[in-house]
Each structure stands twice: as structure tokens, then as C-alpha cells.
Chains A and B, each alone.
Chain A
Amino acid sequence: MSAEPADAPPAAEPRVGIGRHLLSVADLGREGIAEVLRVAEAFAEVERRAIPKVPTLRGRAVATVFFEESTRTRLSFETAAKRLSADVLSFGVSNSSVKKGESLRDTVETIEAMGIDALIVRHPSSGAPHQVARWAERARVINAGDGWHEHPTQALLDCFTVRQVLAERFGADPEGIGCFDGLRVLLVGDIRHSRVARSEILAYSALGATVTLAAPRTLLPPSLEGWPVRVADDFDTALAEADVVSLLRLQAERGSGEFVPSLREYTTHWGLTTRRVGLLSERAIVTHPGPMVRGVEISGDVADLPLTVATRQVTNGVAVRMAVLFLLLGAGGGLEADAPVEELQAAHG
């Protein structure tokens, strides 16, 4: 147990501003990602305390505004906000006036009128958080997943988890981003409909990793023009070459079931089966954003192997989201302190 008082501020003072909103990983850039990871490391330490709570955002109010079902992301954000002592409001479409016909814009303006400092938005339409950011007058907007577009905090926590595992198992620097240089990341599955994939590709490539995609053609985006990726010719070979395998779920609720002839065929050709695990290097790490569908993209026994770090991803989600909230709302992105933030941003290009 730490001797430190539980309400001491985290060790990290922000070095880089990360902008006003977090809508896309592209908003952060390499420096911004590095900063989130660095601050998250400090908050991970807070989480290990007996009373894992700091007063950093006392007096701030954040709202989770979810127009789509979610368990882990919402709980993770709310836990993060509470550990920072922020007040947390929870707005779900199922118990709201949206069902009575209220528009997204009116909903957002109503919530903001309650003095909310940050809106954590999940929406089935790509780009909805961008629009919310245009409509919000003072609140920060965090994209908690929009349509097929992005899920920035998921990608950040994936990177965070990968670095943590590399540090523990192979002695990589747990603070810097050097471990990502030349790291071979393989994304497998429904890239087309995956917001996690779009954010991961931006994050991993910004950090210096090389990204390869493996999927049936129907589950790749129609165009990869301008994407810093390559498409694997052969899945088995790509697995053997990968340092990190990011498995994506078949998004049946977005109709991806129609994109493959059958789940059985998908599993046979693109699933991480027991046979394919044997192809992986012994250093490989398997990530999965959840929810996992055992028997489809991953076989049940593989999901339980130590190389699969899905549970750790969930744990780290809280620290990473604390970092994002802190950087947007705390001293780093203080609502009254726009000028210093801009100076910081200018200083870091």
C-alpha cells in the first residue's frame, strides 16, 4: 500500500496540449498520443492505490451521452471520471426525450445548458461527435465511438496495453514510445465496419508501427487510398510475422454477416484458431476490443491463453480515459486556460 495520501495529484503535469476535443486519433498526432500514454501511466499508478481516487476534476461535470448500447466503454468512462472526482451524468437514448422526437442538436444543447464540461458521445452515425463539437459552445467533446468511423480511446488503450506488456515481458521502456518503432501490427477481421480499426491504424502508424490488414475482401474498406497500411497476401504468413495481432469482431448488428458466406467459413479462414496460434511468434500479443465472440473470430481456448490481453485492455481503459479527461479538462486543458494550451500546442507544432 502506498504511503502517499490518496488525494495527491498525479505525478504527471501535462507537457503537450491535446486540443479542445478528442474526435479522432488524428487530432492528437504522435506527440499527443505519447502524452496521453505518459499521463495514463501516472493514473495507472493511482488505480493501484487503496483509495484509487484523486481530486483533479473536482467541481467538473461530465456526461456520457450514448445513442448506442454499450457496457464497457460507458462504465469505463464513468469510472475514470469518478476516480478524478468529477460529477458524472449519464444520458442514454433509451430513457431520454430522443425517443419523443428530440433532435440530437437539441439534446446536446440541453445537456450543455446544465453546465456540463465534457460530453462523451457515442452515436451510430459516423461524424456525429464532429457535429456535436460544432454545436457545443464550451463543453469538450470526446468521441466514444461513432458509426464505422473512430473510437479513439479504444486505440489509445490498446497502444497503452501493448506497451505495458512489452515492458513487462521484454523490458521495453514503459514511458516512451520507442517500443512501437517498427512494431508489426496485424489487424484481422471486419475492418470495413470497424471504428476501432480506423483509430488503431492512425494510432499505431503515428507511433511508428507498421500496420497490415488481413480480412476477406468484402470486409476491407472500398478504398485504402492514403491509408498507411498494407494488405496481407496470406493470413498464415502475416500471423507468423506479427508482433501484435488485433482481432476485430464481426459486426453482425451492422450487417457484416452478409459479407461472408457463413460464420463457419469465416472462422475457418480468418479465425484465430488453435492451429493458427501455433504460427504466432512466442513474443506475439493478441488484443481484442471486446465483446469477444468465442468460436467465431477467436476460439475459446485461445481467448484464455496468456498471449491474449483482452482483460488487461479493459483494466487499462480506465487509466487511459482518466488521462484523456485530465488533458481535456484538467490543468492541461483547463476550461479557463485556453491560452496556455494554445501556446503549448504552438510550441510543439
Chain B
Amino acid sequence: MAEIVIQGGTVIDGGGVRRADVRVSGALIAEVGPNLSVGKGVTVLDAGGCLVAPGLVDLHTHLREPGREEAETVDSGTRAAALGGYTAVVAMPNTEPAIDNAGIAREVLDLGRGAVAEVAVAGAITVRREGERLAPMAELADLGVHLFTDDGSGVQDGALMRRALDYAKGLGVTLAQHCEDDALAAGGAMHEGAWSSRLGIPGVPAAAEEAMVARDIALVRLTGAPVHFLHLSTAGSVELVRRAKAEGLAVTAEAAPHHFALTDAEVAGYDPIFKVNPPLRTGADVEAVKVGLCDGTIDAIATDHAPHTPETKDVPFDEAPPGMLGLETALSVAFSELVAPTGDGSSGRLSAERVLGLFSWQPATIAALGPTDARGGGHSAQGGPVAPGGAANLLVFDPEASWQVDRAGLASRSHNTPYAGRTLRGRVRHTVLRGEPVVIDAEAQR
């Protein structure tokens, strides 16, 4: 059985922080402790100065397959994920056709079987994501689908959403809402505010998101079924979720890196690379999202990795599709924005441990991919802990390495990263999937 020793790092998981080596044997963690012996034929992964953590879990990845393979495939998207430190991604169902039935779900799960990151799928709440009648959720749940969403749009009809929640409650699955009131958002291409007014671009008011967050909180109160809020982007949404949690309601929430790293001022040059939905918001919203990440209102950082080909993005701003890449930059962006550099006790907002929790074990729990979950779909346990007997899904991250994002150097089939040319702090060094080093020294191994 192939053996790996991850040597010289600091192990971080939900149980804390300690200096330790990690021995991996086959697909499992065999031993965790200081100064492990290295026998003959054992692969050593250097982790000097690095953090060794459970692999990351992305709750929000658009793999584009089937339907838009020119933008991304399961193969290219999972390679991007592995390079970003992810060992599992949840594929969003807004493919063409949508993942609204067992056949398509099975197809995507099969494509993910041999990939360099595990692929879980989210199912659609409604048929063709049209918001009119329920998708066969029980059939999808039988395949291990745990999250359901019409992502790309929200379920507009409150009565239908209520019915979906009632139904989901019986199945023990979670609905994830893309909160956007279509009527309020109609025609908008960026955040409505000072910048949209100046640039003459039709805006999407924060209220378009907040109205649906508020409605769904009321429906959680009514039905007792859980809701996961996708990509919260406004200060008002964060506050609504904070109060719902204080009330003890079954809500969880995620935020995307661009919603705490970038503001609507980026749109000033009319570059559609910065067009995303929900749109980049104001500095005050960015600050509120950061506070929400710090105080536990927001449970997970999820990429909303949304590849688009250059042809579709190189068009006038209001014609371009929304979305930006995220998998290969997310953890580095989070460290750059949220964690103090070593030796600087003042400027950091979160410890490395808290950030890794937001990226790994907390989303693993939301996606029901954790070690104690009854995982369907043939997935291994995600989110740690880094302990003997656990699945060897691991990430080695150098928090002090800095690197410049090169659009053409990304593994994604598309190049629509908003961080091109930026220098980010912290870089994924190795990624281990079920015992296989799929990324070594920031290079994909297959």
C-alpha cells in the first residue's frame, strides 16, 4: 500500500493546532505525530512552514458539464479545485440540461468518479429551474444528493418555496437559496448605488437580495426546515441571518471571496470580468461580510466558481453573463484579506484555524460530507479530522508564500479571474485526495 509522510508542518483541524507529521497509508490517515519515521519507498511531502489541514470543500462550484464544456468540464474544474486545495466540490445544477432528475445527477457523479477532487452534486428544487413545479427531490436524495437549489435564480413563488421546504424536511435534505427577487433585480447588471448611477449601468438594489432572505427566514420559522443561504453579499442580508440564528432558526450561510475582497468600484472600467451575481457591493457591505465571517453568522466561504469563455465575456457590460473564477484563488484571497501575516498581531481578523474551518469542516457539515454523515454518492469523508483512520483528504498550505495570479496559468478552461495580476498571500502547496498526492508543489499531477 502506497505510503506518504507529510513532514514538518503544523496540523490544523476542527480539533485544534499542533506540530505534527502525518502518515498516509492507502486512502486513510495512518498516524499523526511528531517526527514520524520514513521508511524505504515512502513518498515525503515537505510541509516545512506550512499548514496541514483537511482538504477544502466548496459548496458552490459551476462545473458547466453537461452543456457548456467550452467554459469548463468536470475534468478541468476539479483540477482547478485540487490546485486550490479542494478535495470536494458541490456541482451546481444550472447545467444544460439542469440537474433536475436522477439521470443527469448520475451522469455528473459518474464524470466525477475518477476526478482529482470529489464531485458531489446539488439538485434543482424545481423542474428545469423554472420555479414552477418541484423537481423529483426524493429520487435525487436516493443518489445521495443533499443540497437542492435553483442557483442562478431564486425560487420566486413563496408558496412553492414553502412546499419545497415541507417536502425537503421529510427527506432530511437542505434547500440552498440564491436570494434574488427577480422583479426588483430586473435589468440590473451591477450593484445599485453611487457607482451604477455614475456609470449609467442599470443596478440591482441590495433589497432584491434582502427581500428574499427575509422571506425565506419567515418560511424557515414556518416550516422548521433548514435553509442554506448562498453567496450573501449585503450588510442587510448578513444582519437578517444573524438575527435568525440568534432566534435559533435552522439557517446557514456562505459568502464568496469576491464579496469580501472586491467592491463595486471595480466596475468603473466597464470590464465584464467584474460582473457577477450577486454583484460586487459597497465597501460597507464588504466590511459587513467580513464581520459576519468573524462572528459566525456566515458558516462557510464558497467560491461560486463560474467559468465563462472569453467570447462570452468580451462583450458590452450589460450583455455579458455574470460570474468569475474562484477555485484556484479562494484560500489565498481569504488569507490575504482576513489573516494577519506571521508576526503581525494587529491587522488580522481571523486565525488560520478559523479560516480553514470556513473552507473545510464547516462546509463539509453543510453538504453532509463530514465523517459522521451518512454520505451517499460514494464520497469519502471530508472536513477532517486529521486523525488515524480518517480519510486522507488533505491540504498543505504555505501561508507566507506570495504569488501573482496569471490568467493564462490557471487550470480552468476559462480565464475570467478578477484577480489577474494581483499578488496574493498564501499558496496551496500539496493536495492529497484519498491518499493520492494530486497536487505537489503547486503542480497538478494528472
Q: CB within 8 Å of B: which residues of A?
A: 103-105, 123, 125-128, 130-131, 146-150, 195, 198, 221-227
Contacts and interface: CB of A to CB of B under 8 A. Distances in A.
Contact of A221 (B197, B270, B315): B197
Interface residues of B, number: 22
30 contacts: A103-B311, A103-B315, A104-B315, A105-B315, A125-B316, A125-B317, A125-B318, A126-B199, A126-B200, A126-B201, A127-B199, A127-B200, A127-B201, A127-B316, A128-B270, A131-B270, A146-B200, A147-B200, A147-B201, A150-B200, A198-B198, A221-B198, A222-B197, A222-B205, A223-B192, A223-B194, A223-B196, A225-B193, A225-B197, A226-B194
Contacts of A130: 269-270
Contact of A198 (B200, B205, B311, B316): B200
Interface string B194-221: 1011111111010000000000000000
A125 to B, nearest CB: 3
The 5 A-B pairs of least Cβ separation, nearest first, read: A127-B270, A149-B200, A125-B316, A148-B200, A221-B197
Contacts of A123: 316
A100 to B, nearest CB: 15
A99 to B, nearest CB: 15
B316 A104 contact: yes
A128 B311 CA distance: 15
**B200, B311, B317, B319, most chain A CB atoms within 10 A:** B200
Contacts of B271: 131
A123 to B, nearest CB: 6
Contacts of B194: 223, 225-226
Given A105-B314, A127-B270, A222 B192 contact: yes
**B196, B202, B319, most chain A CB atoms within 10 A:** B202
A127 B202 CA distance: 12
Nearest to A148: B200
A202 B230 CA distance: 39
Nearest to B194: A225
Contact of B316 (A128, A148, A222, A226): A128
B270 A126 contact: yes
Interface of B: 192-194, 196-203, 205, 269-271, 311, 314-319
Nearest to B320: A125
A152 to B, nearest CB: 13
A206 to B, nearest CB: 15
B196 A222 contact: yes
Given A131-B316, A147-B200, 20 more contacts: A103-B311, A105-B315, A123-B316, A126-B199, A126-B270, A126-B318, A127-B199, A127-B201, A128-B317, A130-B269, A130-B270, A131-B271, A148-B200, A148-B201, A198-B200, A222-B192, A223-B194, A223-B196, A226-B198, A227-B197
A349 to B, nearest CB: 22
B311 A222 contact: no
A198 B200 CA distance: 8
Given A148-B200, A224-B197, A225-B194, A127 B317 contact: yes
**B203, B315, B316, most chain A CB atoms within 10 A:** B316
A221 B194 CA distance: 9
Nearest to A191: B197
Nearest to B201: A126
A224 B193 CA distance: 9
Contact of A103 (B198, B205, B314, B318): B314
Contacts of A224: 197
A124 to B, nearest CB: 8
Contacts of A198: 198, 200
A6 to B, nearest CB: 41
Contacts of A150: 200
Contacts of A226: 194, 198
**B205, B270, B317, most chain A CB atoms within 10 A:** B270
Contact of B203 (A147, A195, A222): A222
Contacts of B269: 130
B431 to A, nearest CB: 36
B250 to A, nearest CB: 35
Nearest to A224: B197
Contacts of B193: 222-223, 225
Contacts of B199: 126-127, 149
B322 to A, nearest CB: 15
Contacts of A222: 192-193, 196-197, 203, 205
A215 to B, nearest CB: 13
A263 B269 CA distance: 36
Contacts of A147: 200-201, 318
A128 B201 CA distance: 11
Contact of A195 (B200, B202, B315, B318): B200
A195 B201 CA distance: 11
A223 B264 CA distance: 14
A125 B319 contact: yes
A131 B313 CA distance: 11
**A195, A222, A225, A226, most chain B CB atoms within 10 A:** A222
B325 to A, nearest CB: 20
A262 B269 CA distance: 36
A125 B200 CA distance: 9
A140 B84 CA distance: 42
Contacts of B205: 222
A70 to B, nearest CB: 17
A257 B442 CA distance: 56
B409 to A, nearest CB: 22
A252 to B, nearest CB: 16
Nearest to B192: A222
A148 B202 CA distance: 8
Nearest to A150: B200
B314 A126 contact: no
A3 B161 CA distance: 81
**A123, A223, A224, most chain B CB atoms within 10 A:** A223
